[in-house]
Structure 1
Amino acid sequence: MPLHPERLAETFVRLCEIDSPSRREGRLAVFLKGLFAAEFNAEILEDDSAGATGSDTGNLVVRIGGRDGIRPPFFCNCHLDTVEPCAGVKVRRIGDTFTSTGPTVLGADDKAGIAMLIEMARCLKDESRLQVPLEFVFTTCEEIGLLGAKRFDFSLLRASSGYALDSAGIDLAVIAAPAANHFTALIQGLAAHAGLHPENGINAIQLASLAVAAIPLGRLDKDSTANIGLITGGKATNIIPEQVRIEGEVRSHSAKKLARYTAAIEDEFRLAIDRHGVLPREISGPGRRRAQLEFLVEEQFPAMALDQDDPVLQRLTRAAALLRRQLRFTVAGGGSDANIFSAQGLPTAILGTGMTDVHTTEESITLKAMVRTTELLLALARQDPA
């Protein structure tokens, strides 16, 4: 039986209007547990990641058993959380297009994907073609650093590869995404009265400004980007600022470039302090006469890269051929749960769902796009995945 567009639309609206900001995905998790248990008698597993992520629920794995117990399942992944502002979402539908009615995001990122998985399972059940077991993985806290995926209990999965529904565009698959480092530069200068004894101070904000001005930002090369997004420091205008905190990121598809660009940023901060962060000997001030730097680097997520001959992409190509479609394989600049799954030895391609203007109050999606991606999911399930 064909899929039911209006049923898909109704499910999507219902999901969007369940609040699920990062770390408060519990209401949506309860809804999904009830739906999959009632309609599919699914096996529903929840890991113990909540203690580490701070969410009010763990990650969920939903297993819907097919009649074929020989062929391995593939998994599909969506995240449960949405970015702020997302409290009290009300969906507006004009013709084929869905948007939010108020000053909130719509939540198509990633609830469009969840709705598609529900419709996929319903279609397969309706036509009694639920041959291959399905595994759906719903993660928490994706929007605040892929925290749920990082803490996911991978022993719960039986599938060895899968698809994450978490990209803009239609009829495309993301096959590579960069690794990212988050860096924090903490500069400790010297406080002094800005009017009485400014020569006794070392201005931490000024040192940070000199370093930031020297750091290349934006697109560094075809593989790499860098950004500084947060600067905080200072207490009052009449105090030489003693501390400043700078946070940024470096991304690259090349591990060597990622390390090199991250080290170069640290070098610029140290150079600014060496040149401008030392009090002259003749100034009588505090005992410490030099600014100090603490530079912290944290891996946000590893790189993801799939080969064209990888079975997960071959299966996707066959599914597109069944629909007489040509898929576009592309490289992304952002990270997703697929980075984490792939790094764990579970090759994961990212599928476009058709959502647009994500992370803004202008976010939208069309029913046509959701139907088209659901058809691709059904084609994946209707073929031999081996």
Structure 2
Amino acid sequence: MPLQPERLADIFVRLCEIDSPSRREGRLAAFLRGLFATEFKAEILEDASAAATGSDTGNLVVRIGGDGELPPLFFNCHLDTVEPARGVRVHRSGETFTSAGATVLGADDKAGIAMLVELARSLKEDGGPRPPLEFIFTTCEEIGLLGAKNLDFRLLRARAGFALDSAGIDLAVIAAPASNHFTARVRGLAAHAGLHPEKGVSAIQLIARAIAELPWGRLDPESTANIGLIGGGKATNIVPDLAWVEGEVRSHSRELLARHTTAIEEHFRDVLVSHGSLPAGISGPSVFSARLEFDFVEQFPTMRLVDDALPVARLKRAATLLNRPLACTVAGGGSDANIFNSHGFPTAILGIGMTDVHTTDESITLTSMVRTTQLLRALLEV
């Protein structure tokens, strides 16, 4: 039986209108539990990740039976949405869905979830042979892939699969960069800005100098860097003794990622050595030197699928079956797929047609959702 577009549209709207901002995915998880248990008698497992993520639910693994002679496949979507995401109401104009208010729509990633529901329903109606399926619904993806990072991978029977979480249509992301998140804190010397500013060392001035002298944006064909947050100071009449920035470095090369991160730290230190000191007498009995606290953590590792990896090979066969083009691309962002691949579960990311994600202009068309769901079905037939 063919897909039912209006049924897909209905479940999409219903999912979008269940609020699920990061760490508050519990209502959506409960809805999916009920749906899959009632309609498919699915086995539903929840891991213990909530203790680590701070979410009000763990990750869910939904098992839907199939031909036990065939190797199982998994599909992954995340449950959470970025803010503003409370009180979402969906507006439909023809085939296009947008938010009816001042919130995001939530197509990222509820369009993917809706497609999986329609996929399962259509497969149930057809009743033909297919591999066993696992739907993996993760929490807290939007705030650092926390659900995937704390997923109990022992729950998975499938060894390879697909993440439905990218813009575009008829495309698969097969490579994505690693990312380091860094924080630089500069500690200067406070002084009264009107009475004796020469006795102070401005942490804001030092951190501004360091930022201004460093390259940002695209560093090389494989790497980028950005400062996203900045703060410091206490009042306008105090030479600020503390300033901080947070940023990130991304690269498809782990060597370049390490090199660029180290270069940023070393430049901050060089600026403090050159401009962050006051001689004895002005600063007190001894020379004062500003201090740097620099920390970084890996947000996510690289992913790169080879041409003969199961997801890539299956996608190419599915595209041939559907007689449609399929682009395999390299992305600049990270997703749950980075984590799955790092644990030895080859995972390609599928474009599902959403646009303007992470904004209140977010939208998706029913045609895009149907077209992607057709691809999902084809993946099970090749």
Give the TM-score normalised by the residue count of structure 1.
0.98
Any stretches of 5+ residues in structure 2 without a counterpart?
none
Moved over 2 A (4+): 284-288
Residues 200 and 285 of structure 1 are in contact (CA less than 8 Å); yes or no, is this contact kept in structure 2?
A: no
Q: 2:151 corresponds to which letter in structure 1?
A: F
Task: Quote the Cα distance in structure 2 between the aligned partners of 1:113 and 1:342.
Answer: 19
Task: Quote the Cα distance in structure 2 between the aligned partners of 1:129 and 1:236.
Answer: 70
Task: Quote the Cα distance in structure 1 between the aligned partners of 2:259 and 2:91.
Answer: 47
**Length, aligned pairs only:** 382
5 Å matches for 1:193-232?
193-232=192-231
5 Å matches for 1:127-206?
127-129=126-128, 131-206=130-205
Q: 2:250 corresponds to which letter in structure 1?
A: R
Query: 1:40-89 CA distances to partner (integer Å, 9 max, x unpaired)?
Result: 000000000001000000000000011x1122111000000000001110
Deviation of 1:327 after TM superposition, in Å, equals: 0.4
Task: Quote the Cα distance in structure 2 between the aligned partners of 1:382 and 1:128.
Answer: 13
Deviation of 1:288 after TM superposition, in Å, equals: 6.4
> Partner residue of 2:63?
63
Matched, 1:300 2:299: yes
Matched, 1:290 2:308: no
> Partner residue of 1:341?
340
Deviation of 1:172 after TM superposition, in Å, equals: 0.1
Residues 277 and 287 of structure 2 are in contact (CA less than 8 Å); yes or no, is this contact kept in structure 1?
A: no
Task: Quote the Cα distance in structure 1 between the aligned partners of 2:189 and 2:251.
Answer: 36
Task: Quote the Cα distance in structure 1 between the aligned partners of 2:140 and 2:352.
Answer: 20
Q: 1:77 corresponds to which letter in structure 2?
A: N
5 Å matches for 1:246-257?
246-257=245-256
Query: 1:210-268 CA distances to partner (integer Å, 9 max, x unpaired)?
Result: 10011110011110000001111000000010101110000000011000100110011
Task: Quote the Cα distance in structure 1 between the aligned partners of 2:11 and 2:263.
Answer: 49
> Partner residue of 1:115?
114
Matched, 1:48 2:45: no
SS in 1 for 2:31: helix
Task: Quote the Cα distance in structure 2 between the aligned partners of 1:89 and 1:212.
Answer: 38
Deviation of 1:286 after TM superposition, in Å, equals: 7.4
Residues 193 and 237 of structure 2 are in contact (CA less than 8 Å); yes or no, is this contact kept in structure 1?
A: yes
Task: Quote the Cα distance in structure 2 between the aligned partners of 1:227 and 1:365.
Answer: 29
> Partner residue of 1:36?
36
Query: 1:121-141 CA distances to partner (integer Å, 9 max, x unpaired)?
Result: 000000102531110000000
> Partner residue of 1:20?
20
Query: 1:328-366 CA distances to partner (integer Å, 9 max, x unpaired)?
Result: 010000000000000000010000000000000000000
Deviation of 1:200 after TM superposition, in Å, equals: 1.5
Give the TM-score normalised by the residue count of structure 2.
0.99
Query: 1:294-318 CA distances to partner (integer Å, 9 max, x unpaired)?
Result: 1001000000000111121101111
Percent identical among aligned pairs is 71
> Partner residue of 2:374?
375
Deviation of 1:382 after TM superposition, in Å, equals: 2.3
SS in 1 for 2:277: coil
Residues 3 and 118 of structure 2 are in contact (CA less than 8 Å); yes or no, is this contact kept in structure 1?
A: yes
> Partner residue of 1:245?
244
Q: 2:363 corresponds to which letter in structure 1?
A: S
SS in 2 for 1:196: coil
Task: Quote the Cα distance in structure 1 between the aligned partners of 2:78 and 2:277.
Answer: 49
5 Å matches for 1:358-369?
358-369=357-368
Residues 200 and 286 of structure 1 are in contact (CA less than 8 Å); yes or no, is this contact kept in structure 2?
A: no
